Amino acid sequence: MSEPRLPVHGYPFSPCSHQLPDGNTLSYLDVGQGPAVVMLHGNPSWSFFYRNLAALLKERCRVIVPDHLGCGLSDKPQDYPYRLASHIANLEHLLGALQIDKLSLVVHDWGGAIGMGYAVRHHEQINSLVIFNTAAFRSERIPWRIRICRTPLLGALLIRGFNAFAGAAIHMAVAKRLPPAIARGYLLPYDSWQNRIATLRFVQDIPLSASDPSWPVLTEIEQGLGLFAETPMLICWGGRDFCFNDHFYNEWRARFPRAQCHYFADAGHYLLEDAFDRIGPLVDRFLAEQAPR
């Protein structure tokens, strides 16, 4: 199995490695000193998505950014279940090994379900929450272009054979054209049939109905969201997201009316690419205000 090679343009970090109980290895960033901030990416991105935010926050925080198993620079086992519960358990093992007992969470895309899954189980550890375009509650909404990728055989051919998910995201997940070097950074870990295994499995694991394996786990997470009614929360939302659209933004606002909300009408799903100059300072200020004293 080929592995991405560093350095990656715009990713000036030396990742750390953590061995999971099953022998697989997670890659993660651990930079800076101060209150812990854990950032969780989605599919089909990796810790590269948070590169600019990590560089900004490491001046005042300890920033931890894992690559989920199968993603980024982490191992990509071919026979792994790649279920929501597995990703939550991997995060628990990593943060337990790092002895993180208090943290702020920053979540995007699948990172919302994974991160809030961890948070519900360890709610006493959560200092604050930063929500980017994501969900951590049940919904049957799914764009047709993602639904078609769940089709047996066809989905594997599209995602693993033609890289139709990660390859399409560098165009469809942004409102502004990515510089070629940054686009290559997003695609670097997903350069072969074998290395796109998790990209497919994440799509297949989207819980849309009670018949889907991860539906009970997502239900448990949704039922635990009320634990964070008083937790400081910042919501930054890209308004040009074809997947996590305004329906999901309004759902977060309805569930957390006390959250600080900022809507970026000109930003897509990869909102940190389209609007980092405005979002970065908001997150930096919010986390500084909520830092344990």
Q: Is residue 10 part of a domain?
A: no
Q: Quick one: pLDDT at residue 293?
A: 67
Count structural domains, the chain.
Answer: 1
* pLDDT single digits (tens) 168-220: 999 999 999 999 999 999 999 999 999 999 999 999 999 999 999 999 999 99
Strands 260-264 and 233-238: parallel
By residue range, what is the domain housing residue 125? 16-290
Cβ pair 67, 26 in contact under 8 A: yes
* pLDDT single digits (tens) 139-169: 988 887 788 878 888 989 999 999 999 999 9
Q: What is the mean pLDDT of residues 38-60?
A: 98
Q: Is residue 252 part of a domain?
A: yes
Q: Quick one: pLDDT at residue 7?
A: 64
Enumerate long-range contacts of 173-179, CB under 8 Å, 24 or more apart: 173/241, 173/268, 173/269, 173/270, 173/273, 174/268, 174/269, 174/270, 174/273, 174/274, 175/238, 175/240, 175/266, 175/267, 175/268, 175/274, 176/273, 176/274, 178/273
Q: Is residue 1 part of a domain?
A: no
User: Taking the model in full, what pTM does it have?
Assistant: 0.96
If one counts every other C-beta atom within 10 angstroms of the C-beta of residue 230, the result is 8
* pLDDT single digits (tens) 224-258: 999 999 999 999 999 999 999 999 999 999 999 99
Give the amino acid at 25.
T
Q: Is residue 183 part of a domain?
A: yes
Q: Is residue 6 part of a domain?
A: no
* pLDDT single digits (tens) 86-143: 999 999 999 999 999 999 999 999 999 999 999 999 999 999 999 999 999 999 888 8
Domain of 274: which CATH number? 3.40.50.1820
Cis-peptide into 281, omega within 30 deg:
no
* pLDDT single digits (tens) 57-71: 999 999 999 999 999
Q: What is the mean pLDDT of residues 282-288?
A: 98
Q: Quick one: pLDDT at residue 57?
A: 98
Q: Quick one: pLDDT at residue 5?
A: 46
Q: Is residue 7 part of a domain?
A: no
Share of the chain above pLDDT 90, in %: 89
